[in-house]
Amino acid sequence: MPAMPDKDWKKKLTKEQYHILREKGTEFPFTGKFYLHKEKGFYVCAGCGQKLFFSDAKFDSGCGWPSFFESMPETVELRRDESHGMVRTEVTCRKCGGHLGHVFDDGPISTGKRYCINSAALEFRKKK
Ligand code: FE
Q: Which domains does the chain have, with CATH numbers?
A: 28-126 (2.170.150.20)
Query: Distance between CA 22 and CA 47 in Å, rounded?
Result: 9
CA-to-CA dists, residue 35 to 64, 94, 111, 122, angstroms: 7, 23, 20, 11
Rg over alpha carbons for the chain, rounded to the nearest Å, is: 14
Task: Give the bridge partners for 78, in sequence order.
Answer: 91
Query: Distance between CA 80 and CA 65 in Å, rounded?
Result: 20
Q: What is the largest CA-CA distance in the chain?
A: 43
Which pLDDT score, from 0 to 100, does residue 2 have? 66
Specify the pTM.
0.95
Mind telling me the catalytic residues? 116
Tell whether the model's pLDDT for residue 53 goes beyond 90. yes
Q: Residue 21 Cα, ligand 1 centroid: separation in angstroms?
A: 8
Query: Distance between CA 112 and CA 106 in Å, rounded?
Result: 6
Q: Residue 43 Cα, ligand 1 centroid: separation in angstroms?
A: 11
Q: Residue 48 Cα, ligand 1 centroid: separation in angstroms?
A: 4
Q: Residue 76 Cα, ligand 1 centroid: separation in angstroms?
A: 9
Query: Distance between CA 17 and CA 10 in Å, rounded?
Result: 9
Q: Residue 89 Cα, ligand 1 centroid: separation in angstroms?
A: 17
Q: List, for residues 96-125, the tens digit of each pLDDT value.
A: 999 999 999 999 999 999 999 999 999 999
CA-to-CA dists, residue 17 to 14, 29, 47, 52, 127, angstroms: 5, 15, 8, 16, 24
